[in-house]
Structure 1
């Protein structure tokens, strides 16, 4: 274990992450570049004292679980995760939890689709990347904490925000079944990940509907190719839904497009101009 190199590496990765990257408020008196030590500790589910000792090159040998939690909290790439393990003297193994690191080429792709609303979701349906039109169609994901960006949690635990279930999408109930099935498959792939288990426990405790679907043990789902969003500003939008799998990251790119020449295409064009402004709310 190279304590000094490990300390420098952790510090450098911590300082490059802004609070908004992980859904934390910046606060008026933030003097530390990037995240604070206590914020990293909170995200990694370890004590602040333990993390501080690691950054001061006087910490104990971290376990694989701690390294996995640090890698997730610091949003390390696969190469950085492996490097972290080598510095800690523990050869890297397969990832213990779903990846939240989106390749830059995928992020660039989202922003090269100005006439399509596109998001990237993790294996647990957390929205981890999006373009401007997706924010206008669904919600401004940058304005909500990371906890609330999970579509499964939103579906079962906050089903009727402003009287609408999951953005008033026409297949909300079908999506609920599909999401439960995909989450069961993800739980099998990541049996040791604490965030996956915590999400499942939260859903089982808070939603009878989820508990009923979970009890069926189904893992296969048919994709929905077309759906309609009832948008509060531009009204109903019929869109095609295409899903691209990023197999090496266990992620999906979801792309919503409207058929050319339809009123829905015009509505999407209008949304691209309006953005995330709420024109339906009196000023």
Structure 2
């Protein structure tokens, strides 16, 4: 669908042309939905085969029936019309078209909508990434999602801030620990600066997730438990950066100076690898000691 040119109404006012990227996004959404419809057969979705079909896959009216939406509305969707598409209707269409997890994520992304039934947060970390965590020791490293849940970590990381293995799984979240765990709070040398940056990054990461239950639950839990989090959260600052040098106070080896590098390994799930590397020779020696203690 191409952008239209401005038109004048009776009063002489011009209607602005639609931004080209919106029309392109609707066209991509329409083409994607149609391609998923055409790959399905009536037998797969439990419908009778009916008479000979002129086109492959399901008919539009069959998808509309399966999704409990109007045939005209669904037709407009595949025609890339400028229509409102709610998350609930997209959910019904995703189920009707038998979309898998990546396809479902792509559908909601094209529509610019928040998935009401997102992937679970307890994503299994692949064995290959677990091997990476082991191989980078003594560098502390962890696998986190964009909600700051600690999905996996190596031995050195387990002793860097607090004794992670002694904590219940529900509390193994960097946002929660930074505000609520005494050991973690003590480890942050530049604590206030670190907390403000963490919350600003967390708010930006959550832009596409605030309506998801697990995001809302974590924010609500922190708001109820920490006046300090509430005060920083209410500022509504956003950021996308990491402190150049991070200073941590470890209970076993003392002050360490670290660089932090993040690698997004599975952006669709928000899974990233974070590795802390020593910023000086003294810290490198301390990390070796910490690895031995953790081992």
What's the TM-score bracket when you normalise by the shorter of the two chains?
0.5 to 0.7
Aligned equivalent of 1:148: 171
1:254 and 2:274 are equivalent in the alignment? yes
2: CA distance, partners of 1:166 / 1:97: 31
Q: Are residues 186 and 228 of structure 1, via their aligned partners in 2, closer, same or farther at CA, if it must alter by over 3 Å?
A: closer
The 3 A distance-change label for structure 1 pair 123 and 255 is same
State TM-score, norm by structure 1: 0.58
Segments of 5+ residues of structure 1 without an aligned counterpart are: 1-84, 277-283
- Give 1:188's match in structure 2, choosing from 196, 199, 207: 207
Larger mean Cα displacement after TM superposition, 193-202 or 219-228: 219-228
The equivalent of 1:240 in structure 2 is 259
Of the three residues 229, 253, 260, the one matched with 1:210 is 229
Aligned alpha-carbon RMSD (Å):
2.6
Q: Given that residues 180 and 214 in structure 1 are in contact (C-alpha distance below 8 angstroms), is that contact kept between their aligned partners in structure 2?
A: yes
Structure 2: stretches of 5+ with no match in the other structure: 1-93, 106-114
SS in 2 for 1:245: strand
Superimposed CA distance per residue, residues 177-218 of structure 1 (whole angstroms, 9 cap, x where no aligned partner): 122223323433123321110111111222222222222222
Which one has more relative contact order, counting CA pairs under 8 Å at least 6 apart?
1
Flag the 1:224–1:251 CA change in 2: closer, same or farther, 3 A.
same
Q: Which residue of 2 aligns with 1:112?
A: 135
Where does 1:147-186 land on structure 2 (aligned, <5 Å)?
A: 147-158=170-181, 161=182, 164-186=183-205
Q: What secondary structure does 1:137 align onto?
A: coil
Q: Select which of 140, 143, 148 maps to 1:125.
A: 148
CA distance in 2, matches of 1:259, 1:275: 21
**TM-score, structure 2 normalization:** 0.56
Runs of 4+, deviation exceeding 6 Å: none
Computing the radius of gyration over CA atoms, which structure comes out larger, 1 or 2? Answer: 2
